[in-house]
Amino acid sequence: MIAVIQRVSQASVTIDGVVKGQIEQGFMVLLGVTHTDTEEDVTWLSRKIVGMRVFNDEADKMNLDLAAINGNILLISQFTLHASTKKGNRPSFIEAARPEVAIPLYEAMIAQLSADLSKPIQTGTFGADMKVALLNDGPVTIIIDTKNRI
């Protein structure tokens, strides 16, 4: 799994002109699932995201996590994170998981993030044409790949 985590002041996702999910301060997370990902990847990545200390404390140091600021999460599925650009100019998405693998893991991530954060999270819709808007705060953008834990 690959997650692109952006610290935001606000973020939203709109589908067919209707706002599906929106948050104020917190993380907008783009999630890419590959065919070798497992529930163990979900658990590890969720804890990593929720525990990420990148919000400023009273000394203006990035030292606080989501719970400390009562932050929220907007989770968006994005298969293009597994694009291979090695050959030519047209990316290959062969490493992105097929829906029968990706959807259950995406849904597991929603449940795990909600449990780890102790409140519901906001989401897009898997496979939908989504319009994502965000105000990146910092900017702070962090990429985590569960295949590169060490």
So which residues are the catalytic ones? 78-80
pLDDT at 126: 95
| Residue 147 exposed, middle or buried by CB count within 10 Å (0-12, 13-18, 19+) | exposed
pLDDT at 97: 95
How does residue 131 score in pLDDT terms, banded at 50, 70 and 90?
A: very high
pLDDT at 149: 83
**What is the distance between the terminal CA atoms of the chain, rounded to a whole angstrom?**
15
What mean pLDDT comes out for the span 110-119? Answer: 98
**CA 42: distance to chain centroid?**
11
How does residue 123 score in pLDDT terms, banded at 50, 70 and 90?
A: very high
What mean pLDDT comes out for the span 18-36? Answer: 97
For residue 39, is pLDDT > 80?
A: yes
For residue 150, is pLDDT > 80?
A: no
Check: CB of residue 33 under 8 Å from CB of residue 81: no
Top-level class of domain 2-145: alpha beta
Q: Quick one: which of 40, 43, 30 has its CA closest to 2?
A: 30
How does residue 109 score in pLDDT terms, banded at 50, 70 and 90?
A: very high
Please, which residues bridge with residue 26 across strands? 8, 72
pLDDT in tens, 83-106: 999 988 999 999 999 999 999 999
